[in-house]
Structure 1
């Protein structure tokens, strides 16, 4: 069943031009059944009640339970990366269950800042990935902040070469979880010290050195492999 992202679940839901065009490309007709989700955890079945050149409209049906979210929200805090690497990370992180992506400005970041257009594009990537992976939650992609401004809420883990601890050894789901991953040049000693002092636990990603776009996905993949 085709899935459609809507701003909110309501009795009658008009679709934006992009979603309307997508339904026309699929050659759906009035009366067709689709599944809608609002990106905030709400999901339901719906019926197409209008579909023409002027747009599309859906009528809300029965709610659907979605069991594809982690027991507690997961935040991925990741350093700014150049090119399309951030898009790749956001897409895969969404598939792996994160609730939000917090972009970080770090000393050795590949780029110092990103523009508004890039941020909008990353949010679009997250929306498409949540639809593809059949999630009811679309992760928010938050504007970059200095790593020194990152506040720990719940349990936090820092991917850092040379660490001995493994994330699965101490992860529990009694509170929200934040995973932190650095740039290609790694975090500075001062940044690691500050994160550790804030309560983040340094963890290993294995004996090999991973690229900056691979490390956060290895970290999330280790958690996803536990079945949550």
Structure 2
């Protein structure tokens, strides 16, 4: 994935959309100040809930910059968020940039636990967990991968583990601090600038489930 980032301070309104997991959240910022936001644990139904949530924001969420979660997470949830961001950007003439769901989780964890290394552990597909390691400044120390729970527990070495499977991973490993965290658009200012990317292709944490005729990769999840 391209790591082109938006490092310069942004002045103006930013709409943040995160529908990549069981949680669905939106937030509208003026510079770094939160104007309004909404967070809901939906499980399913993101397609029906997301646009009304945006419409309830001031000025119906209109912003010069739209920031959207790229995953990893639910295949459908990631696509719903990206489709909404791209459609609104086309209508408003806005810039669209993205971020990793796990980067958001780790940023929230560092805000709660202090500037410490954090491992993320999130529900993946086919019984696996998405894991990734982050330094205390938010840079990636162990790349995103999707592993069975036992392999994930063996791979994670950080004391602090955050995410939807943090408690299960810490229990399986037998030590550490677990922070049960879902990504939240309202926490956007916690993301380091290097976590933002202009490459808004969906971010998957595992190989394609199937191949199309001719050996081309099929949909990922």
Fold-level match, TM-score > 0.5? no
| Structure with max Cα Rg | 1
> What TM-score do you get using the length of structure 1 for normalisation?
0.29
> What TM-score do you get using the length of structure 2 for normalisation?
0.29
Higher relative contact order (CA 8 A, sep 6+): 2
